[in-house]
Every structure is written in structure tokens, then in C-alpha cells.
Structure 1
Amino acid sequence: MNRFIFLLYSAFFAFFACKENTPPANQSPVDPPVVQYSGNPAIDKLTDEIAQSPSNASLYAARGAAWYENENYDEGIADMEKAISLDSTRAGYYHLLADMYLDYYKSLKALHTMEKAAATFPKRIPTLLKLAEFQFILKQYNDALFTLERIRAIDPQNAEMFFMFGRVFKDMNRMDEAANAFQSAVENDPDHADAWVHLAQLMADKKSPLAERYFDNALRLDSNNIGVLHAKAYYLSNTMNDLRGAIEIYKKINTINPQYTAGYYNTGLLYLDMDSIARAYKSFDLAVQFAPQSPDAYYHRGMAAEMMGNKKQALADYKTVLNFDPDFASAIEGVKRLQK
């Protein structure tokens, strides 16, 4: 039986300024424009403070961050642009503005913001790393590699630089270079859990026994990291055929987080592979309880029920699947088979 396991991974820069009406005679040109209150006490408090100190960049930045937290992107972006116009020496302002643009699906503006930040702070490693990350996200791999080389010239042993090199090389399918980069990352920072995981996954793809050791190094840093545990379970089941070992890890995951549906679902799949149908049914039943909108969980519970001879339960589950996905071929076949 095939197993399907869910895996838990510039040309210009434009500034836009709001037009302000000519202030009335009793209002100074430096006074802020009249604004509508938001109803959010924290934001409205900052608005009052800005009215008293309209040239204070930090107040605009704080309000921008508050807007961002509430997903008011237009207002947040306007405030961060105002903050930068008042004080362009704060790298964090550029970083936050870039994050806003990215989350607002304006990825090129996000990239251009970080390019301007890197030009303004050419030796600041966190800014260069963030630029490289944005270039990576936008699949501008050669630009990302160039930015990372700028970091290497400043700090040749920077672990986060090596980690980013690894991510870029991995996406470019340059796996040996990726592995070397991740290895350099953990050599310079043995507590870099993400680098250990990426390195372990690359070794797993090569079916190298080093993979399990690397997963364990990541778990040494955080034994309850669900993402790392899941990755190790996937490695054990799909590469080492250690189904029982994988099941034990999924059980630990569900002890840590009882609502982690993939743990129950994947356990059920592994029990099916082991022909332990009753245990598979119980696992899929738990998956259905915690993910009642999942057609896959219903389908596999139905399949286990059918294998146990419970045709009534199986038919009910297959029909539930079709309520979610009328084109689910295996459920269609199951209904036809049981209604003969």
C-alpha cells in the first residue's frame, strides 16, 4: 500500500505621500492632518501623542506597528513611510515596512524597500540577511547569492549567512553545495536547529545514516519541537521503513499537542501498512474528531471500517467524503462497491 504522509518548509523605489489640505489660519503647517479615531485604544493613544509631537518618528513607527498587528496595511504603510521620512537612520523602520509590503502581497515594493535599506546600511548584517531572504522568497537566487557574499566579506563565519546559502542552493537544486553550507552553519553555531533539520533531510534523501544523528541534534535543542519530530518520523517511515519507530514519534507529538491531526492521520496510514486495521481505524477516528472537515480522514476511516467488515460505517464515511469533494474518485468507487 502506498503511503502518503503530510510533511510539516530593482529598478525603482517609490514613495507615496498623502496630500494634505492647506491648513486653516489657526493651524500651523507642522500640525498633523485631522484623522479619524480607530476605536483601538492603543492606536488612538498614539494618535493623540502624534498630534502633540508631529515630528516624532518613533510615534509614527509605533502606530504603524500597531496598525500592522491589526492587519490595517494601508495605514501601517503610510505611518512607516512617514517615520522613515522623519528619521532615515533607523534600519528597523525599513525592515518593518518591507514586512508590511510582503504580507500585503506587494512583494516588489517589499524587495525595493530592503534594497534601499541595504544601500543605506551597507555593512549591517541583519539588513543584508533580510534582503537575501526577500530575494530568496522571490526566487532571485543569483541576487541572493551576491548579497550573501557581501555578508561573507564582513563576517566570514556568520552562521545565519551559511544557513541562507544552504536554502538558496537547495532551491537551486545544488544539493552538495547546500549540504556544505548547512554543515558550515552548524559548525559555527551548533545550536542552529533549522540548519540541523535541513542537513538531516538532505542526508535522508541520500539514505545516509547520518540523517538520524542530525535529527537528534536538532531535538537535543528542543525535544518537543513538533516540526522536527514530524520530520524525523517521516524519515524513519519513508527512508528507513521503521514504521513502529515513526508511530512512537507521532504518538509523542500527539501527547505534546493532542490537536495535531496529522499525527493521528499518519499513524493510521502506518498501521494500515502494518495490517493493523483496528488500530488504524482508531487513529483515523481521532483524526476525524480533530479535523471534521477533512475528506481524507473520513475516507481512510471508511476504508478501515470496510476492511473490518463494517460496511454501514464505511458507506457513511464515503458519502461524507463526497459531501466535501464530489470528485473524490476512491470514495465514489467505495460507494458503488458497497451499494451493489
Structure 2
Amino acid sequence: MYVVIFVWGCGSNQSSVDALLKKPLDSLSIQQISNEIRKNPYNGELFMRRSELYYNNQLIDSAINDAIIATRLDSLKPEHFIKLSEMYLSKGNSEEAKNTLEKCNRINPDNDEVLVKIATIYFYVKDYKKTNENLDLAAGVNPHNAEMFFIRGMLHREKKENKAAILNFQKATENNPEYFEAFMMLGLINAELKDSIAIQYYNAAININAKDIQPYYNLAMFYQENNNVQKALAEYQFIIKNIDKSYIHAFFNQGYINMVYLDEFEKAISYFDSTLALKADYVEAVYNKGYCYEQLKNKAKAIEFYEQAKTIVPNFQLAIDGLNRLDKKK
């Protein structure tokens, strides 16, 4: 009697899948993943991987189709539903995004991450009652969910309840010390309140992501708006030298500071020239050059730039007012 032993190839297939899934997404091609899918047509992770690659290549509809397949093959993986909902949102389809997450919640109840995502969509469509309901459900599952506190903070900010907003953003950072957006919101609200603790929050955001230009710019604006112009100028210079040498707002604002705060009109003109080299139709920069020349008693140049501002924006009131001022000085 002979014993026949069948050897199946699924082990090698699985090892091939595992190897592919471990590779960085940007090292893969759509063709590579498609070849693997043909050999493993019921593997949801492969479909989600290809979906992400489609998405990164701006093939949104193909990405959504693959993500839908992934949610059907792996319906117990909330992360697939979350990614699919984000793809719908990128197309502006908040209804499908919400439906996707609510379907996930029916299949995988009591997932705090899904509940917070549902709350987030309701927040952006301004259904604040549903936002609160889903945040409360999420808090019941996981009272330490940082994103739950962040969305609650955004809800209070929308209602102009700054104290409650600050409290929730602080709780978000306590539960996730790397929560960049929460530190940024804390900086923004405190800057609006003219509280210097905003500096601390913006610096915390910089420590989390030193390559993001926004906290540097917000910090410079805080200094500028609170008459600490030398620190503002230093921040703008830092941005240009270390973050983005073509950051137009850093050039424009240095011109503005020299024009408004320091009466350094010639220096201001040079910064507005740098601004216009980056964007020739920046009408405020053109007007400001005219204003600087007016202060320098160069009437012809002032008229030239006021007129130029009007060619960019015909009804630009500041330029019209400038021309009227000069006309009265005849």
C-alpha cells in the first residue's frame, strides 16, 4: 500500500506575499502587486496595498475600487474602511465616507478610532449633535483617544468656546505628545488671545516636525503682531535660509515690517522687489512699493507703482487713495 503525499504551494505563495507587504510602498510598482494578486486573489492586504499605490499616483477611482474589495475580503479590519473613507473624502464625497465608516461600525462595533472618524465627518458637515454623540461613544470605549479630544477641541473652537477648546487640545497632547496639529491649535488660539504661551506651543510643534514651515511662520507672525519686530525678522530670515528660500510671505512680511514699524523704506522696497520676483502680480507688494516711494518723496515712482497696482486690480482702493493723495499735493 502506498501513501500519497500532496504538497501544496500555498506556503511559498504566502511567503511571497509577506515579503511584498514588508516592502516600502514607494519601492513597489502596480504591476508587481497585480502579479501577486493574480496568484492570491483573496488577499485583502494586497488589494489595499495596490489601492494605496493607485492613490499615491492620483488614480483615485482605481484606488477606491481596490479598497472596496479589501473591505469585503477583510471586513474585520477597520483600518481598511478608514482608508477607504479617506479616499472618498479626498473626492469630496463625505456621504460615502460616512456610510463606509458606519458600515464598519456595524461590523466592528466599539472601535474608538472608527467612531472618532465618523464624528470628524459629522463635524465637517456641521452636524454638531451627531459629532458629540459619536465622540461620547468613542470616549466610552477609550477615554484616552487623543484624536477624540482634538475633534472636541475643534468643536468648541467652532462655537468660540476658547477655554474648553484649549482644555481639549491640551488633553490631546497629554495623550499623544507628538500631536503636531493639537500643538498648532494651542499656539493659534493663544496667539489670538495675545498670550505669550503661544511661543511655547509653536516651538513644541517645531520640535515634532522641524521641516513644516507653518509653525515657524506662525511664530514670526506672533512676534510681528505683538511688536517684537526684531524677533519676527529673525524668524523670517530663518525660514528663508533653512526651510524655503522662495517663501514669498517671509519676503513680503519683512518688507511690511521695514515699511510700517521701522520706517526703513529703501530696505522695504528691496524686500518687495524680492516678493515680486516670485509673484509679479502681488498687488499689495506693488502698492507698498508705491507707498514707500511716496514716503521717500519720489512722487514719480510712487505714481508709477500705484498705477501698476491698478492695472493688476483696477479697483484697488489703496492705490486709488494713494493717487488721490498725490494729486492733492500738486
TM-score by length of 2: 0.78
1:162 aligned onto 2:143: no
1:92 paired residue number: 79
Q: Which amino acid aligns with 1:294?
A: Y
In the TM superposition, residue 109 of structure 1 has moved relative to its aligned partner by 1.1
Contact 1:298/1:317 (8 A) holds in 2: yes
Query: Separation in 2 of the partners of 1:184 and 1:52?
Result: 47
Partner of 2:319: 331
Check 1:86–1:190 CA distance in 2 against 1; reply closer, same or farther (3 A cut). Answer: closer
Question: CA offset at residue 260 of structure 1?
Answer: 0.9
Cα–Cα, structure 1 residues 324 and 47, in superposed 2: closer, same or farther, change >3 Å? Answer: farther
**Which residue among 145, 148, 152 is the counterpart of 2:135?**
148
Q: Which residue number corresponds to residue 253 of structure 1?
A: 239
The equivalent of 1:301 in structure 2 is 289
After TM superposition, give the deviation of residue 46 of structure 1 in Å: 3.8
Task: Summarize the alignment of residues 155-194 of structure 1 with structure 2, pairs less than 5 Å apart.
Answer: 155-194=142-181
Q: Residue 58 of structure 2 aligns to which amino acid in structure 1?
A: E
Q: Residues 162 and 189 of structure 2 are in contact (CA less than 8 Å); yes or no, is this contact kept in structure 1?
A: yes
**What is the deviation of 1:321?**
3.4
306-315 or 290-299, which deviates more: 306-315
Deviations 1:193-236 (A, max 9, x none): 43233223323333334333333443444556421122222222
| 1:118–1:131 CA contact under 8 A, matched in 2 | no
Determine which structure has greater relative contact order: mean sequence separation of CA pairs < 8 Å that are 6+ residues apart, divided by chain length: 1
Residues 124/268 of structure 1: CA separation in 2 closer, same or farther (3 Å cut): same
Could you say which residue in structure 2 is the equivalent of 1:16? none
Aligned 8 A contact 2:111 2:141 in 1? no
Q: CA RMSD in A?
A: 2.8
Alignment partner, residue 54 of structure 2: 67
Alignment length, in residue pairs? Answer: 299
Structure 2: gaps of 5 or more residues? 1-27
Is residue 291 of structure 1 aligned with residue 273 of structure 2? no
Identity %: 28
Q: Give secondary structure in 1 for the equivalent of 2:245.
A: coil
The Cα of 1:265 is off from its aligned counterpart by 0.9
When residues 92 and 188 of structure 1 are mapped into structure 2, their CA distance, relative to the original with a 3 A threshold, is closer
Q: What letter corresponds to residue 247 of structure 1 in structure 2? A: L
Equivalent-residue separation in structure 1 for 2:221 and 2:60 (angstroms): 38
Aligned residue for 1:199, secondary structure, equals helix
2:290–2:302 contact (8 Å) kept in structure 1: yes
Distance in structure 1 (CA, Å) of the matches to 2:203 and 2:188: 12
Equivalence map 1:80-229=2 (5 Å):
80-222=67-209, 225-229=212-216
TM-aligned CA distance change 1:322 to 1:67, over 3 Å: farther
- Tell me which amino acid in the other structure corresponds to 2:56: E
Contact map agreement 1:122 1:128 (CA 8 A) in 2: no
TM-score (norm 1): 0.76
Q: Distance between the aligned counterparts of 1:91 and 1:293, measured in 2?
A: 48
- Are the equivalent residues in 1 in contact too, given 2:276–2:285 (CA < 8 A)? yes
Matches within 5 A, 1:235-250: 235-238=222-225, 240-250=226-236
Q: Could you give the per-residue CA deviations for residues 160-193 of structure 1, whole angstroms, max 9, x where no partner exists?
A: 3222221121112222211111222233344434
Shift of 1:261: 0.7
Gaps of 5+ in 1: 1-40
